[in-house]
Each structure stands twice: as C-alpha cells, then as structure tokens.
C-alpha cells in the first residue's frame, strides 16, 4: 500500500528570471508503507528539492503530493500537521540546534504539536534511547557535545514527533566511517522497532546498499531508474555514466566478469563471499 504518492511534480527555481532552473522535471514516485527507500543521485540532481516537497515545505508548481490518499495541499491549514507526520531532517541538521538544553531542542517539535508536558518528556526520553544518547545529556547544552552527538540530538528531535514517514537528507554526510556505520545501525534499529516508513537521500551507493530496500535514482532533475538494490546495481555501467559510483565490491566483480569469469552481480561483501565460496571450495578440492 502507498503511504505517499508524488504525481507529475515539477519545480523551477527563479522562474521567469535569467537564472531559471528546472530542478524537478515531472517526478512520479510511490512510497510504500513501511519501506526503506533511498533516493540517490549526483549533486544537483534535485534530491533535496524533491524531499522538501514531501512534507509541504515546497509547494509543487505542477503536480500533486498525496499522503494517505489525500492531497497535502487540499486544506492549506492542515499543512502544519503534515509536517509533523512527515518528519524531515535536513542535511547537517546540527546547524539548526538552538535551544539551551538537549531536552528543549528535542522537545521543540512535540511542543509545537501541542502535546502535554508528560507526553513530551516521554517522547524526548524515547527518542534519546533510539539515538543511544546518554540520559545525563538531557540538561546539557547541545553545543557542548561532539559533532556526532549533536547530529543525534537533531535526529532525536524529529523522532520525538513520531512521524509516519521519516525523511532524511544525507543523514551521514561529513561523519567518519565509524560514526556513519553507527548512525545507519541506529536508523535501521529505529525502523525495525517502530515500523516507520523511512526515505533517505544519499549520493553513496555503498551507504544505500546497507539500508535501502528500494532505490530511486535521480539524474538531471528526473527519476531515471528505480528498483531493488540488486536490480539497480545491475545497471552499474549506466550508473557510472551518471556520475554515481557503485559499491567497490560491485566494481571488482564487474572487472572480473569483463575478464571472462562467470560471476553474478553483487553489491555487498557478504554476497561476494557467498558467490565465491563454491569456487574457493572447488580450488581447495582440486589441490
Ligand atoms: N534556492 C535555489 N535557487 C536556485 N537554484 C537552486 C536553489 N536550490 C537548488 N538549486 C539548484 O537546483 C538543482 C537541484 O538542487 P538540489 O535539489 O539541492 O540537488 P541535490 O540535493 O540533488 O544536490 C541544482 O542545480 C541547484 O543548483
Ligand atoms: Mg541535496
């Protein structure tokens, strides 16, 4: 079942000026209830512009965004509610922290929703647990925390709204590999426990292979490909032409296949090992 549908959405920046730029060119996209969807594309392909349409931060200049069967703009007064239900976390969200304590920052969304203080406190605590933020941080200033911890506080602020869809713009941008893996693990765990639909933007196939159940590829303001990771990575050559990398292990296997080895297409190291097992086993047997 679809939770969100983007129908024929187009968007032009600086319309009617010499700087006019078509950032979204007739986008069609269906997001399924409970799925983890990755939107991938090179810098400038329109990803951030697209996801700001999902919760009504941007209004499509043509086309519609339909949430749970209803056009999000059908009732303009309701758009605030849509923003609570479709929680959008910007790229580098830690730059938007501003409150004097971690508690206040995470409570900001739930407060705006008009929830009772008790409910707000519970949500803040739950969100901190999801992000594995130590309880003792609650009264600290977010500015005293490390970059990685600040990012987790910012994310917790979105989780505390308990959105139906969590939308993340490049959630691990700028993090070192260990912090990146940790954050992806937390997002995965949150997803499994809450059942929330997750949409995340990335330009790294390596990252996408870790988390996504389905991938949408954007290129030059258009959706050009979509499918399960295995289906999308089948088109490695096309992806490379669009300036997108494929996972390193996929590249290695592509090279081996070009050399005449009969191998499947793989996109994770685990799959690669599995597909090599019979060959390695055979070699051992022969010797
Ligand atoms: N505020 C803006 N005004 C004019 N052009 C913009 C603005 N924001 C983005 N763009 C342009 O729109 C295109 C898509 O941008 P964006 O959605 O940010 O892409 P992505 O997130 O994939 O990097 C880019 O060419 C970018 O330069
Ligand atoms: Mg972007």
pLDDT tens-digit readout, 74-109: 999 999 999 999 999 999 999 999 999 999 999 999
43 Cβ closer than 6 Å to some ligand 1 atom: yes
Tell me which residue has its CA closest to atom 6 in ligand 1: 13
CA distances from 68 to 35, 71, 86 (A): 15, 8, 11
Does residue 286 register a pLDDT over 70?
A: no
Average pLDDT over residues 191-209: 91
Residues 6+ apart with CB under 8 A from 144: none
- Say if CB 88 and CB 124 are below 8 A apart: no
Question: Helix, strand or coil for residue 129?
Answer: helix
pLDDT value of position 229:
87
What number does the ligand 1 atom closest to the CA of 45 have?
Answer: 22
Average pLDDT over residues 160-177: 96
DSSP-assigned letters across all residues of 232-265 = HHTTHHHHHHTT----HHHHHHHHHHHTT-----
pLDDT tens-digit readout, 59-68: 999 999 999 9
Tell me which residue has its CA closest to atom 1 in ligand 1: 13
Average pLDDT over residues 251-271: 86
What number does the ligand 1 atom closest to the CA of 43 have?
Answer: 23
Average pLDDT over residues 7-21: 96
Most confident of 59-73, 229-243, 254-268: 59-73
- Ligand that comes closest to the CA of residue 216: 1
Token pair, residue 9, equals: 């959405």
Q: Which residues surround ligand 2, an ion (CB under 5 A)?
A: 47-48
The CATH number for 2-229, chosen from 3.40.50.720, 3.40.50.300, 3.20.20.70, 1.10.357.10, is 3.40.50.300
* H helix or E strand, kind and range, residue 154: helix 147-159
- CA atoms of 212 and 57, how far apart (whole Å): 24
164-178, 179-193, 268-282: lowest mean pLDDT where?
A: 268-282
pLDDT value of position 282:
58
23 Cβ closer than 6 Å to some ligand 1 atom: yes
98 Cβ closer than 6 Å to some ligand 1 atom: no
pTM of the predicted model, to two decimals?
Answer: 0.92
49 Cβ closer than 6 Å to some ligand 1 atom: yes
Residue 177 has a CB neighbour count (10 Å cut-off) of 9
Domain ranges of the chain: 2-229, 247-287
- Say if CB 101 and CB 141 are below 8 A apart: yes
Does residue 235 register a pLDDT over 80?
A: yes
* Higher pLDDT, residue 219 or 247: 219
Residue 253 has a CB neighbour count (10 Å cut-off) of 24
Q: Which of 55, 59, 23, 54 is nearest to 41 (CA)?
A: 23
List, in sequence order, the alpha helices (H) in 5-146: 47-54, 79-85, 102-112, 117-130
Q: How confident is the model at residue 287 (pLDDT cuts 50, 70, 90)?
A: very low
47 Cβ closer than 6 Å to some ligand 1 atom: yes
């Amino acid at each position: 079942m679809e939770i969100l549908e983007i129908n024929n959405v187009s968007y032009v920046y600086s319309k009617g000026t010499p700087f006019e730029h078509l950032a979204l060119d007739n986008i069609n996209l269906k997001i399924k209830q409970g799925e983890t969807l990755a939107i991938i594309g090179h810098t400038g392909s329109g990803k951030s512009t697209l996801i700001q349409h999902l919760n009504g931060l941007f209004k499509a200049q043509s086309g519609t965004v339909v949430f749970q069967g209803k056009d999000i703009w059908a009732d303009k007064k309701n758009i605030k509610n849509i923003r609570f239900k479709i929680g959008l976390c910007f790229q580098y969200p830690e730059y938007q922290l501003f409150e004097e304590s971690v508690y206040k920052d995470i409570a900001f969304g739930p407060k705006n929703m008009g929830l009772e203080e008790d409910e707000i406190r519970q949500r803040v605590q739950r969100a901190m647990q999801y992000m594995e933020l130590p309880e003792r941080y609650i009264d600290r200033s977010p500015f005293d925390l490390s970059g990685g911890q600040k990012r987790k506080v910012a994310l917790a602020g979105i989780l505390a709204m308990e959105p139906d869809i969590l939308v993340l713009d490049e959630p691990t941008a700028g993090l070192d590999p260990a912090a990146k893996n940790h954050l992806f693990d937390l997002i995965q765990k949150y997803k499994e426990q809450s059942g929330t639909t997750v949409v995340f933007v990335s330009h790294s196939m390596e990252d996408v292979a870790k988390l996504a159940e389905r991938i949408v590829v954007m290129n030059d303001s258009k959706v050009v490909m979509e499918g399960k990771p295995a289906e999308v990575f089948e088109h490695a050559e096309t992806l490379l032409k669009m300036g997108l990398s494929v996972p390193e292990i996929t590249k290695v296997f592509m090279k081996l296949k070009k050399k005449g080895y009969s191998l499947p297409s793989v996109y994770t190291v685990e799959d690669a090992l599995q597909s090599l097992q019979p060959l390695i086993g055979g070699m051992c047997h022969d010797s």
